[in-house]
Amino acid sequence: SAASLTRKYGVCEKAAIGKGATSVVRLAHKWDRTAAGEEEKLYAVKEFRKRRKAETEKEYVKKLTAEFCISSTLHHVNIVETVDLVQDEGGRWCEVMEFCPGGDLYAAIKKGGMSPSEVECCFKQILSGVGYLHSQGVAHRDIKPENLFFDTGGHLKIGDYGASTVYRLPWEATIHMSTGLCGSEPYIAPEQFLGKPYDARLVDIWACGIVYYCLHFQELPWRAAQQSDQLYAAYATAAAATPAAPAHTAERQPERNAPALSFPPTISNLSPRACRPLIRRMLEPDPRARASIEEVLGCAWVRGVEVCWEVGERARHVHVNARAMAGVGWGSGNDAPCTRVRGSFLVPIIYVILYGFRSLLFLFSRSYSYTRVYISLRKLRLLGT
């Protein structure tokens, strides 16, 4: 009911903290009385668009409940928690979610200054989240920095399941192939542009490879994985001339006189060197030869990556989301541990900083749609300045 949104989750701010093609996200404040006094809880409330005239009520409700039915069943440290689906005072359907005050990965990449250990930490957490999704028979189909969110404890979480699909139910032995073009154009896998059924799991793998490239270079490798894009066409030609090495190749120590592995230029400049065979397989234009999430997580390089919140005081870096929250007690060096924040007294400070920063991003650099084309910045410096 309308009353339940305010009663259960508090009052929503009028200003949006996020905008998508079909929804607006607002911050809800809920004050609860505890033995120690009043405690503030924050929720991200996703307000869905109103029903279109051409839609029946049944069609409209089916679309918005489909996302909730998927996301509400997912519970993992690298997945944004979905709490409830209710209506507000205006009768609009709203999805209540965990609020991640650390902002999104897009803002962190655009800000720059991430250390190699931070890049690897972020990437491994994304892979961990995707691995969980695929273990549940779910493919996200819109993995991109804007849909990856930081909490205050160093966790990077996958959110926004509007494009997700269930490719296999628990009792099924075979997968359902997906159809349709969805996602954001720079992250869409080449097979999706062909208009034929595709394996949605491999679409996620491709997008993760693009995200790693963005993390490393602060730019995108191409605007679209189509032959009409000259940069992608050059990559596809080079990839065909240098087939991806088998999964076990990266696990072995190279023989003394063995020739060095050759990679397309897009891959050959990535670091560390150990990542190149894996990213090459993740960005394999032929989905039949692309790595699965099991192969990716089984890679020796990925297994060796330290995740800051897992190793605690032994972490080699202050996580990027902590550094972004300037003035709340974190250091700025790369050798300090990733620190968890506890205590509601920090919430107003964090909110003001993040809201102001995100507002500037919305105003000057961000345009939200499922097929966004990045053309506003010079050449391919599309995520940096």
Distance between CA 98 and CA 188 in Å, rounded? 27
Taking alpha carbons only, the member of 3, 101, 104, 91 closest to residue 48 is: 91
DSSP string, 184-247: -GGG--GGGGGTS-B-HHHHHHHHHHHHHHHHHHSS-S-S-SSTTSHHHHHHHHHHHHSPPPPG
Backbone φ and ψ of 63, nearest 5°: -65, -45
Query: What contacts 24+ positions apart, CB below 8 Å, involve 11-14?
Result: 12/45, 12/47, 12/88
Spatial CA neighbour of 106 closest among 78, 136, 144:
144
Radius of gyration of the chain (CA): 21
Q: State how far the Cα of 281 lies from the Cα of 286, in Å rounded to an integer.
A: 10
Measured CA distances, 350 to 22, 106, 180, 322 (Å): 27, 18, 39, 10
151 is catalytic: no
Alpha carbons 290 and 284: distance in angstroms, whole number: 5
Helix (H) or strand (E) holding 124: helix 116-135
Give 187's contacts (C-beta < 8 A, 6+ positions apart).
Answer: 142, 143, 144, 206, 207, 210, 211
Strands 156-158 and 148-150, how do they pair?
A: antiparallel
* DSSP letter string, 295-326: HHHHSHHHHTPPPHHHHGGG-SS--HHHHHST
Structure tokens at 89: 């005072």
Cα-Cα-Cα-Cα dihedral sign, residues 350, 75, 278, 255: positive
46 annotated as belonging to a binding site for a ligand: yes
Catalytic-role residue among 104, 142, 160, 199 = 142
**Binding positions for ATP:** 46
Residues labelled catalytic: 142
Q: Which residues are annotated as a binding site?
A: 46
